[in-house]
Chains A and B, each alone.
Chain A
Amino acid sequence: MSTLTSASNHSGQAESGANVMTFDADDAMVKKFILASLTFGLVGMLVGVILALQLAFWPANLDLPWTTFGRLRPLHTNAVIFAFTGNFIFAAIYYSLPRLTKTPMWNQTLSQIHFWGWQAIIVSAAITLPLGFTQTHEYAELIWPIDIAIALVWVVFAINFFGTIATRKVKHMYVAIWFYMSMVITITVLHIFNNLALPATLTRSYPIYSGMTDALVQWWYGHNAVGFLLTTPILGIMYYFLPKSVNRPVYSYRLSIIHFWALVFIYIWAGPHHLLYSGLPDWAQTVGSIFSIMLIAPSWGGMLNGLLTLRGAWDRLRTDPIVKFWAVAVSFYGMSTFEGPMMSLRSVNSLSHYTDWTIGHVHGGALGWVGMAAFACFYYIVPRVWKTTLHSLSLATAHFWLATVGIVLYIVAMWASGITQGLMWRAVDEGGQLQYANFMDTVLQLMPFYWIRLVGGLMYLSGLLVMLYNIGRTIQTSGSAVVAAPPAAFAK
């Protein structure tokens, strides 16, 4: 193993061709994962837009069982979380892990099994969910045979991942790798324990937990799925790709270490904030709330580390879409990790729970943080693995504005409708009777907000289409640039 210092002898400058390592086999996997992420991102977000339309205009349910809101909603969440975000995370890991360890992925066959296995799982999800096969646990809807397939494919990935780390040629494991590792380990444990069930038929099973225990395990899973799929891997990705994008080291490496340990330490305990005012013992609810408040510190530490790394490149913010995407992604990370702890306070949760406020919070994190980080990475990685230059910088900038305005419309509409709902549900008249006892009273008030959310979602989706076109044109010119040719995204 070469030591860190010897590794850092060549200091980040463009090197002569002979010194540049290539990972062509891994880059081929990166390409596949990116194309899969883009495809399923398109499908998942299209379904999101359809859901938004259904909520504003019920006939869009089409009066068919397969296209009703209840069946399409899990299709949306599974597609965007496991297919869009999942494939994006794998692409970023297959790209950055070999480069950080100076070691190709451990076993190319495992890489292939990982890729094709994961896509097969997604396809089976896309078939079973609209048909109505479900375990009815949120984000864990897939039926038991698919759950077993997920576990197997995940273990294949884990072996490949840890095999690479074990054979690495650089001793120090950069902080991004720690974040990736936390995902690989935690998701294994979460997935297995939340899906323990007794199969009755091929499509039906009974969970081994019941009642409150089931709810607690479910939200321990649900919360940490958010934590270890939508947060920590993306943070690892941030720690590699953001410094790369601005060509300067992370603002504080020390802070990143504290950020990592504090975050993973605290995250695991916060699940009960999804069960406030439930049958869960009070003290467990309190533990959930306390740990959620504590989460502000590491989360904002990470956000500041990202923003302060960007600080040295503010001049590029005006011209470089990748820097723009990162700036907005990190800001939305900061926003949702402030909003989340506030929603974990019992008094706030009594208003926000069951309302669109939660939906606004979710999409602040999902569209603002996860989505924007994904777009930043795609614009960074695509020209590099296809060895070319980005087709159009102005289209990327157009994408940025469509997405940003789309998010703002989406979440502002949801705040407004969420608070409206919450306040109307708790309003009582002088006699102590519910003022809006008829549920329709509240629903009708929300319609304008639902239409605004639809517009926001459509803008976000159009941005994605612009990116797909841009990336498609970029790939057409594949191979036109060699390493050490003119700046990638700056070419046009």
Chain B
Amino acid sequence: MNPLIEAAKDGLTQGWLMGGMTIVFLAFFVAWSLWAWAPFNRKSMEAAARMPLDDGFPARGDL
């Protein structure tokens, strides 16, 4: 086949691939952000943030 058409076809496939990936990545990103900032997660997020301080070991100034 004409190499130019061949190249255009490849370009098209790559365009679709990258477009598809962009959409998938974006969807994951949005979903994760919504989950992280969801009101029902508030308490557990705040508790998780304190984990290093609540590990039973004195932090700075306590040792």
| 11 examples of A-B residue contacts, CB within 8 angstroms | A8-B54, A20-B58, A174-B48, A239-B52, A254-B41, A261-B32, A265-B25, A265-B28, A481-B63, A484-B58, A489-B60
Quick one: given A5-B47, A254-B37, are A99 and B58 in contact (CB under 8 Å)?
no
Set of chain B residues within 8 Å of A65, measured between Cβ atoms: none
Nearest A residue (CB) for B45: A253
Docked-complex contact B63 and A488, CB < 8 angstroms: yes
Docked-complex contact A287 and B18, CB < 8 angstroms: yes
How many Å lie between the Cα of A254 and that of B59 in the bound state?
A: 22
How many Å lie between the Cα of A96 and that of B52 in the bound state?
A: 8
Which A positions have Cβ atoms within 8 angstroms of B? 4-5, 7-8, 10-15, 19-21, 96, 99-100, 102, 170, 172, 174-176, 239-240, 243-250, 252-255, 257-258, 261-262, 265, 283, 287, 322, 383-384, 481, 483-485, 487-490
Docked-complex contact A8 and B47, CB < 8 angstroms: yes
**Scoring B residues 38 to 53 as 1 if CB is less than 8 Å from chain A, else 0, what string do you get?**
0001001111111111
Set of chain A residues within 8 Å of B52, measured between Cβ atoms: 96, 99-100, 174, 176, 239-240, 243-244, 249
Set of chain A residues within 8 Å of B18, measured between Cβ atoms: 287
Q: What is the minimal beta-carbon distance from A491 to any residue of chain B, in angstroms?
A: 10
**Interface residue? B62 (CB, 8 A):** yes
Set of chain A residues within 8 Å of B61, measured between Cβ atoms: 247, 487-488, 490
**Interface residue? B3 (CB, 8 A):** no
Docked-complex contact B50 and A11, CB < 8 angstroms: yes
Nearest B residue (CB) for A101: B55
Quick one: given A287-B18, A384-B63, are A12 and B53 in contact (CB under 8 Å)?
yes
Nearest A residue (CB) for B42: A254
Nearest A residue (CB) for B35: A257
Docked-complex contact B56 and A172, CB < 8 angstroms: no
Docked-complex contact A283 and B51, CB < 8 angstroms: no
Quick one: given A15-B56, A174-B51, A484-B62, are A257 and B25 in contact (CB under 8 Å)?
no
Docked-complex contact A10 and B63, CB < 8 angstroms: no
How many Å lie between the Cα of A244 and that of B52 in the bound state?
A: 7
How many Å lie between the Cα of A258 and that of B49 in the bound state?
A: 14
Docked-complex contact A243 and B53, CB < 8 angstroms: yes
How many Å lie between the Cα of A12 and that of B37 in the bound state?
A: 25
How many Å lie between the Cα of A255 and that of B32 in the bound state?
A: 10
Set of chain B residues within 8 Å of A283, measured between Cβ atoms: 14
Docked-complex contact B56 and A21, CB < 8 angstroms: yes
**Interface residue? B16 (CB, 8 A):** no
How many Å lie between the Cα of A21 and that of B57 in the bound state?
A: 7
Quick one: given A249-B49, A257-B32, are A99 and B62 in contact (CB under 8 Å)?
no
Given A257-B32, A322-B60, 5 further pairs, Cβ under 8 A: A20-B57, A102-B56, A240-B52, A245-B59, A254-B41
Nearest A residue (CB) for B25: A265
Docked-complex contact A257 and B58, CB < 8 angstroms: no
Q: What is the minimal beta-carbon distance from B60 to any residue of chain A, in angstroms?
A: 5
Docked-complex contact B56 and A258, CB < 8 angstroms: no
Nearest A residue (CB) for B29: A262
How many Å lie between the Cα of A109 and that of B59 in the bound state?
A: 29
Quick one: given A4-B47, A254-B36, A257-B36, are A100 and B55 in contact (CB under 8 Å)?
yes
**Interface residue? B2 (CB, 8 A):** no
Name B56's contact: one of A96, A99, A485, A487 (CB within 8 Å): A99
Docked-complex contact A253 and B49, CB < 8 angstroms: yes
In the A-B complex, the 4 residue pairs with the smallest Cβ-Cβ separation, listed nearest first, are A253-B49, A12-B53, A254-B36, A14-B62
How many Å lie between the Cα of A75 and that of B31 in the bound state?
A: 45
Q: What is the minimal beta-carbon distance from A134 to any residue of chain B, in angstroms?
A: 37
Nearest A residue (CB) for B51: A174
Docked-complex contact A246 and B32, CB < 8 angstroms: no
How many Å lie between the Cα of A247 and that of B12 in the bound state?
A: 54
How many Å lie between the Cα of A488 and that of B58 in the bound state?
A: 10
Docked-complex contact B45 and A254, CB < 8 angstroms: yes
Nearest B residue (CB) for A98: B55
Set of chain A residues within 8 Å of B46, measured between Cβ atoms: 249, 253
How many Å lie between the Cα of A458 and that of B53 in the bound state?
A: 37
Docked-complex contact A4 and B44, CB < 8 angstroms: yes
Nearest B residue (CB) for A260: B32
Nearest A residue (CB) for B43: A5
Docked-complex contact B49 and A487, CB < 8 angstroms: no
How many Å lie between the Cα of A245 and that of B18 in the bound state?
A: 43
Q: Which of A249, A261, A287 has the most CB of B within 10 A?
A: A249
Docked-complex contact B56 and A20, CB < 8 angstroms: yes
Nearest B residue (CB) for A257: B36
Set of chain A residues within 8 Å of B33, measured between Cβ atoms: 258
Nearest A residue (CB) for B15: A283
